[in-house]
Structure 1
Amino acid sequence: MSHTSLSGMGVSPGIAIGKPVIHESLPISTVRIGLPLAEVEAEVARFRDAVATAVEGMRENQQRATRQMGAEYAGIFEAHQLIASDPTFLEPVEDIIRSQQVNAEWALDSVVANFVKRFEALPDAHLADRKLDVLDVATQILKALHGFDLGELRALDHPVILVASDLSPSTTVQLPLDKVLGFVLEMGGPTAHTTIIARSLGIPVVVGAHGVCQLAQHAQEVALDAFEGRIVFDPNPAEISEFQSRQREHREQQAQLLQMRTLPTVTRDGQPMELMANIDLTDEVKTAVDWNVVGIGLYRSEFLYMKLSPNLPSEEDHLAVYRDLVERMEGRPVTIRTFDLGGKKLAREVIGATEANPVLGLRGIRLCFSQPEFFRTQLRALLRVAGEYPTGRVRIMFPLISGIEEFRVARLLVRRLCAELRQEGRSAPDGIPLGAMVEVPSSAVMAEDLARETDFLSIGTNDLIQYSLAVDRSNEQVAHLYRPTSPAVLRMIAGVRAAGDAAGVPVTICGEMAADPLMVPLLVGLGLRSFSMNPQAVPVVRALIRQLSYRDSVQMARQALGMVTSREVEEFLLERLAIVLAKTKIRV
């Protein structure tokens, strides 16, 4: 093995070998400079000029992103412009300049620090990452104040692996991305904008690689495996051969999987399964359709709020996105989850909003009820779109349902809004499937009763594991305790599936477990028939299911349910599935 290697988390799959280029995103230091009263208004004007310059740069980024990735990804930079034009962001800066008689850099830094603190208090990873948008906007304004430029990164003339502590979307979109073989970042996450951009372009990304900038300084070559989150510096010939072999294997596997896209998703002994897609952006629908999914099992509508932040989406904004989504799916059903923002959300709502324990606070359906105008606007748009299509083409799913009462209230609101729309002469469905996400232990325990009230259930495994095991997987000190193989979790899943069967209600498994090659055979054995996942995981799961025996999977699940530790279950699955995983060349 090489003398130096590093591990991180792969968030955009792929393998790359190339020369590393380090992008040092050095912080722009700010010092406090007192100003005489006579110079204060001139400093406010300097700040406004810098904002205008930064906004113009954001417009250029938006145009560049539209050309490279499409209009929806370019929406990131439209959101940056909205932040940079938002009075709740700008006015506090000018107030500090005037009241404290200080320079614009110091005032901006003070306001941004307050924004970041608010965002970091939020429990949801999507929302916590939004602090990066504020930091990105602030950095662009600071650069305008100082006259900084991106420099030589724009002039890359040969393929490289870009190494950085972090990478803002505004920097990413200005890069010659056709010359970037992969990204290795010390920070970042699966929901960061830069990750989303890279994934859309098929560029491998590893994040959480602490210390990579220092190690890459002396390396002439880097080998990157974004499947396993592995980075090797100055790989020896044997390691280069290994990575190249994996590259070829990946290309060959993709070609084979593409040939299977029209084949039915069915076990060897004839048990059919449904594969659906989890979608953040409507541009991802093309990948889902290309891989022949039967529908969208989860559209995370909160991305629309993030895209338009700090403004709130109007009913027409919602309507346009949902209609586009349904049309792109070409007759297949679309399940849209109402906003699951994880706490108070956008700029105007975040300011002044803190919770002692936000993970157990105002999120999911609770936030919907606490912000009735948000909820009403979204539901009206959903119902108007549903009324334009045959029943079942649009389905509404409510997040983080913890009891029957919450679902009943949401259902009653839907019925009232349907009547309201008809009175206005607008389209409204005669009936629309309403479902609940089972994400907390209370809803899993009450699944039998919940199933009798709903049209469908979706098991959100990410939160169900987190809440059941009392583990925050973003906390490095306890992340190792986040175990999908926990017997407690498996028994809850089995119970929810049985409750759905008893009520004649379909149950979908949604979350990372649905795409985990080690867990899929077990879930099949537990009786799950519907799986919803990232579109890029669909072909791998289809190939795996086609190699499974349903009868053997049921027997395996029965044995696993009798075990009492996560380790027992994991070792049992690895042993039982070794041949199938080897045959399909799927790594776990």
Structure 2
Amino acid sequence: MSIQMFGQPVSRGVAIGRAVLVASSRVDVAHYFIDAAHAPAEVARLRHARDTVVQEITTLKADLPPEAPPELAALLDVHLMLLNDPMLTDATRHWIEVRHYNAEWAMTAQTDVLVRQFDEMDDDYLRERKADIEQVAERVLRALAKEESLLPQVSHSRDQDGGDPLVLVANDIAPADMLQFKGSVFKGFVTDVGGRTSHTAIVARSMDIPAVVGAREASRLVRQDDWLIIDGDAGVVVVNPTPIVLEEYRFRQRQSELERARLHRLRHMPSVTLDGQPVELLANIELPGDAANALEAGAVGVGLFRSEFLFMNRNGELPDEDEQFEAYRAAVLAMSGLPVTIRTVDIGADKPLDRMAVHELRHEHALNPALGLRAIRWSLSEPAMFRQQLRAILRASAYGKVRVLIPMVAHRSEILATLDALERARQQLQDAGIPFTDVELGAMIEIPAAAMTMPLLLQHFDFVSIGTNDLIQYTLAIDRADEAVAHLYDPWHPAVLQLIANVIAMANGAGKSVSVCGEMAGDVAFTDLLLGMGLRSLSMHPSQLSSVKQRVLRADTARLAKEVGPALASADPAATWLAMNERWAQRSRSA
């Protein structure tokens, strides 16, 4: 039966493929594909883990005291029976040998299949037995966790037989886990939770694959290997579509691919408006390897290197100075002399470190992580770590043009502490005879307090970059990762636009460079408006560069500047801006 689900569209395009479920589990496990040659070794890992659990339960049963209730022994017998049941053991091995899942993923996938079967049983007693399946699976997963796999992870976008493309379905995917899937080239993904500007959505756009988040029941309603259509334009997920619907979406998919190919031809054209205004189009990257994609897409530099992704998915072991230096240097060298702006670590809120990491317990249990110890606040609370990162960045500056960007800065005390930390890092390198060059220091404008105290920031910083995602979140008091209030997250809100316009005007007036590096930069709906405000630098995901460049090439900034004032003064800026541009388009057509 075909069904439709609705969520938030976060990455445009159409994806069609078979569902791959990342099943939820109380045990956090890795999900990745293995090389076919290593399937026997992975099956052996699974078998060893199962045998370990069998031995544990057998020992527990043998050591039961005489006064133990007989039901306990019976329960242990049920768990032993399940561990030897082909529905669990053989089927789990099938996921490894045929689909090339790692052992942990195979176990969670088969557990999900069995739990669904139990849910559909009419008998209440049998239906409740799914808890036994989950408990047994959790024991096996814990056993697997004690012997970390050293097998290489590989990339697949199709089934083992080379037939059907794959799409990912999950309750949620952490940003760091998204990066693990980055090389897998899944054709698209859908999650139960999340919002348009959650970091999971942002990484999806950087992967340039169609995605829908906040689909509520997707991971419960979709089954392994169901055919799915993910409409990243409308936020619709179609499960097991009819042939007519499938053909319609295949046509849309072909049209989208043709449009992308046409836009791709613009990538190396100079980005200049109709009235001769050059506009700097930069790229946002998460890892050094993304720099090559940025160059290929036509970026003239990196406007935002999110260094926090070097700190995540590491089981609490933070990268040392040399490891960070090598990563930053790799990105700088890959950009071949073009500028690279490295943001200091922005940990917190929807980008937590692993549970064992420093300070994790402190902010994991915070009442509101978005307002807690994150970004520059966390860095300043760990001065040794912060200076270590600054030294690594400064060392990389010896290999190209590097700029440092400080996230979430708002207080004079934070500015002075940051300047002091940077000076100490410089002095330490100088004393050690390690080469570095001067770097420009910038502030991210993502808190209303920062936007309203621009004169203070401009005294101390060389440039500013507007992080629209957090600026909107904090201005409107909206948790951007919470789909329950996603409809209130409004980039067109008059307060948001007025703050952005004021920041751009004040930076331009002071002769300091200003850019936008949030999601608004890559949204063509805002390109003309930002240009009309006086912005001449935008940083976005490489996949969005060509679309934005097309708008830049067609823009007349002199005309746009005249229309910004009425739009900002309006109670409904979006409607006012749209109406003014439609009238201009009509006049152009009649002329």
The correspondence of residues 35-184 of structure 1 with structure 2, limited to 5 A, is 140-141=144-145, 155=160, 157-162=162-167, 164-166=169-171, 181-184=187-190
The two structures, once aligned, show a CA RMSD in angstroms of 4.4
Structure 1 residue aligned with 2:546, among 509, 530, 539? 539
C-alpha separation in 2, matches of 1:509 and 1:174: 27
Secondary structure in 1 aligned to 2:23?
coil
Q: Map Cα deviations across residues 198-223 of structure 1 (whole Å, 9 max, x no partner).
A: 964x6544333233356556998543
Assess, with a 3 A threshold, how the Cα gap between structure 1 residues 369 and 170 changes in structure 2: closer, same or farther. Answer: closer
Structure 1 contact 161–222 (Cα < 8 Å) conserved? no
Structure 2 residue aligned with 1:301, among 307, 314, 322? 307
Structure 1 contact 443–450 (Cα < 8 Å) conserved? yes
Q: Which residue of 1 aligns with 2:428?
A: 420
Unaligned regions of 5+ residues in structure 1, if any? Answer: 41-56, 66-73, 78-102, 111-135, 145-152, 583-588
Structure 1 residue aligned with 2:573, among 569, 580, 586? 569
Structure 1 contact 342–362 (Cα < 8 Å) conserved? yes
Which amino acid in structure 2 is aligned with residue 514 of structure 1?
Answer: A
Instruction: Report whether the alignment pairs 1:409 with 2:417.
Output: yes
Assess, with a 3 A threshold, how the Cα gap between structure 1 residues 165 and 460 changes in structure 2: closer, same or farther. Answer: closer
Q: Which residue of 2 aligns with 1:25?
A: 23
Instruction: Report whether the alignment pairs 1:492 with 2:496.
Output: no
Assess, with a 3 A threshold, how the Cα gap between structure 1 residues 341 and 172 changes in structure 2: closer, same or farther. Answer: closer
Q: Map Cα deviations across residues 221-250 of structure 1 (whole Å, 9 max, x no partner).
A: 543322332223455666445423322321
The correspondence of residues 353-372 of structure 1 with structure 2, limited to 5 A, is 353=363, 354-372=365-383
Identity of aligned residues (%): 34
Instruction: Report whether the alignment pairs 1:383 with 2:388.
Output: no
Structure 2 contact 178–200 (Cα < 8 Å) conserved? no
Which amino acid in structure 1 is aligned with residue 416 of structure 2?
Answer: R
Which amino acid in structure 1 is aligned with residue 426 of structure 2?
Answer: C
Assess, with a 3 A threshold, how the Cα gap between structure 1 residues 309 and 205 changes in structure 2: closer, same or farther. Answer: same
Instruction: Report whether the alignment pairs 1:5 with 2:10.
Output: no
How far 1:409 sits from its partner (Å)? 2.0
Which amino acid in structure 2 is aligned with residue 292 of structure 1?
Answer: G
C-alpha separation in 1, matches of 2:445 and 2:370: 16
**Bigger CA drift: 21-30 or 250-259?**
21-30
Structure 2 contact 178–204 (Cα < 8 Å) conserved? no
Instruction: Report whether the alignment pairs 1:549 with 2:556.
Output: yes
Assess, with a 3 A threshold, how the Cα gap between structure 1 residues 535 and 39 changes in structure 2: closer, same or farther. Answer: farther
The correspondence of residues 509-528 of structure 1 with structure 2, limited to 5 A, is 509-528=516-535
Secondary structure in 2 aligned to 1:401?
coil
C-alpha separation in 2, matches of 1:433 and 1:457: 10
Instruction: Report whether the alignment pairs 1:373 with 2:391.
Output: no
Larger radius of gyration: 2
Structure 2 contact 193–213 (Cα < 8 Å) conserved? yes
How far 1:137 sits from its partner (Å)? 7.5
Which amino acid in structure 2 is aligned with residue 230 of structure 1?
Answer: V
How far 1:399 sits from its partner (Å)? 0.8
Unaligned regions of 5+ residues in structure 2, if any? Answer: 28-52, 65-92, 106-131, 149-157, 587-591
Which amino acid in structure 2 is aligned with residue 382 of structure 1?
Answer: I
How far 1:10 sits from its partner (Å)? 4.2
Structure 2 contact 194–483 (Cα < 8 Å) conserved? no
Structure 1 contact 444–492 (Cα < 8 Å) conserved? yes
How far 1:444 sits from its partner (Å)? 0.6
Q: Which residue of 2 aligns with 1:465?
A: 472
Assess, with a 3 A threshold, how the Cα gap between structure 1 residues 269 and 235 changes in structure 2: closer, same or farther. Answer: farther
Instruction: Report whether the alignment pairs 1:445 with 2:452.
Output: yes
**Bigger CA drift: 340-349 or 324-333?**
340-349
C-alpha separation in 2, matches of 1:485 and 1:226: 21
Secondary structure in 2 aligned to 1:282?
coil
Structure 2 contact 201–213 (Cα < 8 Å) conserved? no
**TM-score (structure 1 length as normaliser):** 0.71
Which amino acid in structure 1 is aligned with residue 262 of structure 2?
Answer: Q
Q: Map Cα deviations across residues 527-586 of structure 1 (whole Å, 9 max, x no partner).
A: 11110111111111101111222122212211111113xxx112223334569999xxxx
Assess, with a 3 A threshold, how the Cα gap between structure 1 residues 361 and 192 changes in structure 2: closer, same or farther. Answer: closer
How far 1:302 sits from its partner (Å)? 0.5
Q: Which residue of 2 aligns with 1:249?
A: 255
Assess, with a 3 A threshold, how the Cα gap between structure 1 residues 383 and 155 changes in structure 2: closer, same or farther. Answer: closer
Structure 2 contact 322–392 (Cα < 8 Å) conserved? yes
C-alpha separation in 2, matches of 1:272 and 1:175: 33
How far 1:35 sits from its partner (Å)? 6.6
